[in-house]
């Protein structure tokens, strides 16, 4: 313990005691003094019912409620009461977006600093104060008209339906959006909700395409909705958001297939329970199957496969032209899980295909009938290249969560760029 000095009955100590007594008295009297000041006739009243200040406000071009307001013109509000001033303005549209503005030093006027949305309905709430300090309130509504700006169309995907737990969402834009602030604005207006609620984020694949995925797979049996709130929003000069249809998805069971390239086996499970272990063959040397997680893209009962489609010259020793059954597509470049009756002797022991995962007719039909688009097929222990995150199907799950967030304008480690015209309400985190 530290040394504690004793206090002797000396002159300095008596002075300390005197100061303490004075301070105690001051603290006792302080609330009384504050009450007296607040009630004195010389101070402004901070209580009472606000008076109606609507008739003492001018809303400029938005003042006539019968005409649509030009969304490209700023909103200007002026106090017509020479003895009063504006203290605050909140302007909100029907979907909850607010616009920012600048109040003049003397409080006589306020002007918006972010563009209005086109084709929107606004409610403006103005707080005022008269020369006696009494608060007033004024409310005004108006609508904006159309804009001559080109629309930024948003195509949301996939199509409505039921998908596996690995299905990403997509948003394809009709115009390039590269500026960080504009990306923040667009991304914040693409709203994803799920039941149950999960954490997720958009990722900019390029200037016209975004993918959305949760941190982990979607919960089995969940429902997902995605909508765009960009309609009418000013993105940049000459470009405003267009309308988009809301999308509803259902998520089925958690079906996963784990294919061991070196072991020549595939294990298929549903909701954590192993359903079947299947002998397989995958790509041989020179045609190695990609390692990594792939999302089922689609299914074809019968498909014609040719060597020329993957760059093999017709008539060469590796050339082929086959009608294939029970084909489940994994990549746009041509990786499938399918029936390969010609290689049954190698299934479970050797890799002899040109990149696809082959199995018997019976196993391929069972697999085809067990999985759906959005389910996960993961190849491990291979000797080929890794599955790319983008460009050849849905390799989104091969990125770590940190790398995924790095592609978001809102959730990147450095934080979102400041968007001059962005809505104040960002897309909820899931």
Task: List, by residue number, the catalytic residues.
Answer: 338, 356
CA 255 to each of CA 219, 259, 292, 347: distance values in angstroms, whole numbers, following the listed order: 11, 13, 16, 22
CB atoms within 10 A of CB 134: 17
Per DSSP bridges, beta strands 247-251 and 161-163 are parallel
Nearest to 253 by CA among 237, 270, 241: 270
- Report whether 128 contacts 53 (CB < 8 A): yes
Whether 417 contacts 180, CB under 8 Å: yes
| Distance of alpha carbon 59 from alpha carbon 54, whole angstroms | 10
Distance, in Å, from the CA atom of 101 to the CA atom of 61, rounded to the nearest integer, reads 16
């Amino acid at each position: 313990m530290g040394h504690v000095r004793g206090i002797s009955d000396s002159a300095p100590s008596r002075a300390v005691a005197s100061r303490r007594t004075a301070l105690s008295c001051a603290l006792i009297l302080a609330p009384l003094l504050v009450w007296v000041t607040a009630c004195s006739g010389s101070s402004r009243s901070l209580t009472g019912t606000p008076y109606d200040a609507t008739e003492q406000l001018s809303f400029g071009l938005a003042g006539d409620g019968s005409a649509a307001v030009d969304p490209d013109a700023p909103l200007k509000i002026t106090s017509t009461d020479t003895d009063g001033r504006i203290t605050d303005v909140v302007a909100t549209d029907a979907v909850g977006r607010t616009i920012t503005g600048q109040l003049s030093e003397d409080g006589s006027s306020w002007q918006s600093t972010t563009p209005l949305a086109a084709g929107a309905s606004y409610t403006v709430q103005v707080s005022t104060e008269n020369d006696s300090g009494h608060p007033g309130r004024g409310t005004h509504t108006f609508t904006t008209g159309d804009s001559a700006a080109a629309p930024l169309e948003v195509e949301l995907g996939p199509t409505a339906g039921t998908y596996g737990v690995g299905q990403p969402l997509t948003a394809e834009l009709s115009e390039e959006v590269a500026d960080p602030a504009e990306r923040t604005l667009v991304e914040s207006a693409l709203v994803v909700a799920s039941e149950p609620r999960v954490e997720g984020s958009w990722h900019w694949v390029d200037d016209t395409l975004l993918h959305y995925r949760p941190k982990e797979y979607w919960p089995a049996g969940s429902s997902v909705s995605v909508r765009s709130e960009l309609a009418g929003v000013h993105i940049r000069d000459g470009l405003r958001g267009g309308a988009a249809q809301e999308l509803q998805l259902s998520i089925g069971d958690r079906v996963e297939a784990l294919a061991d390239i070196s072991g020549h086996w595939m294990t298929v499970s549903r909701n954590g329970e192993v359903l079947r272990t299947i002998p397989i063959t995958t790509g041989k040397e020179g045609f190695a199957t990609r390692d990594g997680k792939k999302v089922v893209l689609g299914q074809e009962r019968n498909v014609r496969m040719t060597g020329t489609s993957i760059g093999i010259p017709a008539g060469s020793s590796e050339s082929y032209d086959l009608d294939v059954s029970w084909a489940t597509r994994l990549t746009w470049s041509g990786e499938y899980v399918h029936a390969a009756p010609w290689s049954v002797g190698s299934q479970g022991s050797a890799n002899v295909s040109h990149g696809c995962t082959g199995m018997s007719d019976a196993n391929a039909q069972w697999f085809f009938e067990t999985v759906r688009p959005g389910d996960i097929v993961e190849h491990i222990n291979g000797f080929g290249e890794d599955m790319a995150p983008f460009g050849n199907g849905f390799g989104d799950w091969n990125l770590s969560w940190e790398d995924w967030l790095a592609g978001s304008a809102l959730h990147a480690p450095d934080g979102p760029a400041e968007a001059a015209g962005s809505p104040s309400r960002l897309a909820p985190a899931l």
